[in-house]
Amino acid sequence: MQVRRLAAWVALPLSAALALAACGSGGGSGSSNPDGVISIGIGEPQHLLPGNTHETEGAQVMAALYSPLVNFDEAGKPFEVAAESITSTDNKVWTIKLKDGKFHNGEAVDADSFINSWNFTAYGPNAQDNSFFFDKFQGWADLNPSDANVVPTQKTLSGLKKIDDKTIEVTLSAPFTEFRSLLGYTAFYPLPKAAFQDPAATPLVLKTDFEQAPIGNGAFKIKGNWQHDQQIEVERFADFTGEKPKVGGILFRIYQNQGAQYADLLANNLDVVKTIPTESLATVQGDLGDRFRQSPSSSFQFLAFPTFDARFSKPEVRKAISMAINREEIVQQVFQGSQKAAYSFVSPVVAGYRDNTCGVNCEFKPAEAKAAYQAAGGPSSLNITYNADGGHKQWVDATCNQLKANLGVECVGTPEAKFADLLQKVEDKAEVGMFRLGWSFDYPSMENYLGPLYTTDGSSNYYGYSNPAFDTLVKEGAAAPTPDDSIKKYQEAEDILVQDMPVLPLRFGQNNYGFSTKVQNVELDLFSRVDLNKIEAVS
């Protein structure tokens, strides 16, 4: 809600205060054990299904189970993985040729594997959260009537055509210059025939227990079932035709408490912690030495408003709250300078980023904030809901203390046990007040920070924000003939967010991670995922 991934943990960026920490990949000089099983700490995933996985915890597991059509190099450029080639002459009609591949149950990965998966995800009544990512495909609107109670007249995407067993033709509703990058996202993973009750049926119906033991096409296959709130174990898939991993298996250990995860790392009972807890920043260098590492991340931390709640429906109220928050103070005092205060709505790692687009709305002006808040009739009490399994309590409490002092209101932090619980409450429009979210991109583009999060039908627009002018600019940017033309439109769209402030930018992140003495060559990518092709177990 990744990628475009909604992030459960606090993501921590490079800082001058921690400049002595080693940067780059996790090295090591021990001999590698190709059959070793390594462990990675995660939070409880919300889903393990291509059409429904849109947060960082599930995405990490899915990266083991599935092989994408494309992945990304260090510069954010896509390269083919499961695809042999992806070509177009007009950016509207695309031809995808597939490499040979197998699913974990022995089925061949073919054109139907992708077409079936994509049609299932895109079909509105299936209520897949990633359906939105097919809105650029011709025919998506026919599968998703504006009235959710209306049964679609069509069952499959008209823009999908099977040319042969290894070739798919995709027709978009409008040109999209970044289509190859889009295909790297989780929603575009394939599904085997075994995933469906009847693979010949229209519409397709998923087997109810499929995601408890997903069958993928990736380098690892699941071992047993998903043990909720405990662990997910995967083992190397012998018949995988792509790049071979350097370990025999991975144990994804599920934690509800980030401190407990870090304690297990220090005891050498866990091999990788992807995010160092906030409270451990002061000691991490001494705790781990050169096993504490930092790398660039696409993460963006923000505070969201349920704009459908009358208390937060006025932009003036939202702007006043923003001006009452001293971002720099929280970065320094809570995060010890290890994050960067955010004054824009897109990450510095993508082309088109502009510093301080938020302007006066994100400046710390407590007196003006209080006067504006009172004039707009802001509520007398506030709360910030956050997931307790992500290390957010300290900064949420600090933010509430600032709002108390600067607006003269009551404010409390309200924890939810798990990130999945927080997302479910927000989806159900339950009473949560303001709520924290984080975002890691799904593909390197401004569009990926704007479309899913803020367009009216965006897959991760949990706040009910809607502005037709914004929607139009994002669509125009996606269809623009060149990347530079796209960026101009996206920047105009970002300027509308500054006027409306449906969320408050807080911080930009960077991967701050640690690993045990039992692994080496540990790297995290821009998606905050451990690179499972590089990590090694030490003999």
Q: 21 vs 339, which has greater pLDDT? A: 339
Question: Which residue spans of the chain are classified as CATH 3.90.76.10?
Answer: 70-211
Close Cβ partners of 391 (under 8 Å, ≥ 6 residues apart):
9, 10, 258, 259, 275, 277, 278, 279
> In the predicted model, what is the mean pLDDT of the chain?
92
Give the integer Cα–Cα distance in Å for 448 and 439. Answer: 10
The amino acid occupying position 392 is H
- Place 292 in a pLDDT band, splitting at 50, 70 and 90: very high
For residue 24, pLDDT beyond 80: no
Q: Is residue 194 exposed (0-12), middle (13-18) or buried (19+ Cβ within 10 Å)?
A: middle
Locate CATH 3.40.190.10 in the chain.
12-63+212-296+511-537
pLDDT, position 291: 98
- Residue with the larger pLDDT of the pair 99 and 478: 99
- Which pLDDT tens digit goes with each residue over 242-265? 999 999 999 999 999 899 999 999
pLDDT band at residue 22, thresholds of 50, 70 and 90?
very low
Residue 16's pLDDT is 28
Beta-carbon contacts of residue 237 (< 8 Å; ≥ 6 apart): 104, 218, 219, 220, 221
pLDDT of residue 295: 87
Q: Please give the average per-residue pLDDT across 39-62, as a whole number.
A: 95
Residue predicted with more confidence, 136 or 459: 136
Helix (H, G, I), strand (E, B) or coil at 440: strand
pLDDT tens-digit series, residues 226-248 = 999 999 999 999 999 999 999 99
pLDDT average, residue stretch 321-341: 92
d(C-alpha 189, C-alpha 139), whole Å = 20
The tokens describing 348, both together, are 């510095």
Distance CA 107, CA 113 (A): 9
Asked whether the predicted pLDDT for residue 537 surpasses 60, the reply is: yes
**Averaged pLDDT for residues 349-377:** 97
Q: Provide the whole-model pTM.
A: 0.80
Whole-number pLDDT of residue 77:
84
Residue 399 near residue 363 (C-beta atoms within 8 A)? no
Do 471 and 430 touch, CB atoms closer than 8 A?
A: no
Rama region for 76: left / alpha / beta (φ>0; ψ in -120 to 50; rest): left
Q: Is the pLDDT of residue 15 over 50?
A: no
Q: Is the pLDDT of residue 294 over 90?
A: no
Question: What are the tens digits of pLDDT across the range 80-103?
Answer: 999 999 999 999 999 999 999 999
pLDDT number for residue 13: 32
Show the tokens assigned to 60: 């990490």
Q: Is the pLDDT assigned to residue 12 strictly greater than 60?
A: no
Contacts of 484 (CB under 8 A, 6+ apart): none
* Model pLDDT, residue 8: 57
Would you tell me which CATH number, out of the four given (3.20.20.70, 3.40.190.10, 3.40.50.2300, 3.40.640.10), belongs to the domain 12-63+212-296+511-537? Answer: 3.40.190.10
Question: What confidence category does residue 61 fall into, taking pLDDT thresholds of 50, 70 and 90?
Answer: very high
pLDDT of residue 26: 55
Q: Please give the Cα distance from 268 to 245 (Å, whole number).
A: 22
At residue 27, does pLDDT exceed 70?
A: no
Mean pLDDT, residues 430-435 taken together: 93
Partners of residue 167 on adjacent β-strands: 97, 164
Give yes or no for residue 5 having a pLDDT over 80.
no
CATH class held by domain 70-211 = alpha beta
Q: Where in 409-462 does DSSP place strands (E)?
A: 410-416, 434-440
Residue 76 has what pLDDT? 80
DSSP type of residue 326: -
pLDDT in the model for residue 17:
30
Q: State yes or no: cis peptide before 203, omega within 30 of 0.
A: yes
Report d(CA 45, CA 223) in Å as an integer: 17
